[in-house]
Amino acid sequence: MGTFILGLVPNAHRPDLNVPKGALMIASGGIAILSFFPVFQLILYLSPDIGFVQTLQSVLFTFEVGKAWMFTYILSNLLFIFVIWFDYRNKAFYAYIGIAFTFIMILSLGWSSHASSYDRVWGFFSHTAHFTAVSVWVGILFVVSWFSKNYTNWSKFLKWFTPVAFICFISTIITGLILMTFVVEFDDYTNAWMLPYGQALLFKHLLIIPLLVYAMINSLLIKRKIKKDTDFNPRPWARIESIIILLIFSATAALGQQAPPHETTVTSTGVSKLFMMFYQGQFQPEMTVQLGLTLSSIALLALSILFLGLIIMSFIKKTPSIIPFLMGVFLVICLYLSLMLGIKS
């Protein structure tokens, strides 16, 4: 998505890019192959009862997730062939076709999503809008941060990308909250931390905090920095933001492997191992999670604020990019421990 969108942007309003055709082929081929894994897991789960072959046929031709995968597989193969035969850099029309292929696959994903199975209209719309916003924002960021040959025209790039990223981020937050209501009630958010699903959801939300800090640096501070120092290289900071987003994607992937709270109950065997590792009280399956203030939680919260300040200080002092990235990781760890050690039941 990012590659095709940037193909429509004039060269004067973005850095020089070099996205290898092989990378696009791997991406489209990866969609076809890797999107089959959830379907394959479902087949393995059901096959002991009626046999593998019959289960395979049943899932592919009667289950929404199976039919959606076949549709996605066909489209991704067409996109693979399209990338080989046509160069989106030569004609804008080809880039529009690539965007259309990608968006139709997003629609297919939204149709077969968990949210769509709960509410066919709102679930489909919310998931599609959520993933479209993420694809546009993160796609552009990934391509520019990892495939740009230089950082010329970076100011002009930020001039249009900053509002686009802001709109996509707000859309992602709103639709993400809507999607969360399908599986976790807001009143039960802290109670969900006792489950592996809730732990993954908590890490996902905590990672958004350093992401906001990096996004602020990349959109506001770097814009000012470039005006004063034309030799400043902004790409390492864009790459840090993209890596944090990859971590958020990893937490999202973990969510997909866990039973949501409304489909399971908290038991002594089903409770999250991470929760039990840090929870200092006596666990009871029927307990409710409430947050309070302890000396440890306050100290860790203060430490997380310190790490947040060190991220900004790293930008000012021009430290190697690994330093602010580690500060972001420590920020999340401290916030997580502050919450876990502040739990009271």
Radius of gyration of the chain (CA): 22
Are residues 136 and 164 in contact, defined by beta-carbon separation less than 8 angstroms? yes
Strand duo 290-291 + 343-344: pairing: antiparallel
Are residues 313 and 279 in contact, defined by beta-carbon separation less than 8 angstroms? no
**Which tokens is 36 given?**
């089959």
Closest CA to 84 of 135, 20, 145: 20
**Which tokens is 6 given?**
């940037």
> What pLDDT tens digit does each residue of the chain (345 aa) get?
999 999 999 999 999 999 999 999 999 999 999 989 888 888 988 888 888 888 888 888 888 888 888 999 999 999 999 999 988 887 889 999 999 999 999 998 888 777 777 788 888 899 999 999 999 999 999 999 999 998 888 999 999 999 999 999 999 999 999 888 888 887 888 888 888 888 999 999 999 999 999 999 998 889 888 888 888 889 999 999 999 999 999 998 888 777 777 666 666 557 888 888 888 777 777 778 888 888 989 999 999 999 999 999 999 888 898 999 999 999 999 999 999 988 876
**Alpha helices, H only, the chain:** 2-7, 21-34, 37-50, 52-62, 64-85, 92-111, 114-118, 120-147, 154-181, 196-216, 222-228, 235-256, 273-278, 295-317, 322-341
Dihedral sign, Cα of residue 171, residue 130, residue 161, residue 88: negative
Are residues 25 and 83 in contact, defined by beta-carbon separation less than 8 angstroms? yes
3-state secondary structure 147-178: HECCCCCHHHHHHHHHHHHHHHHHHHHHHHHH
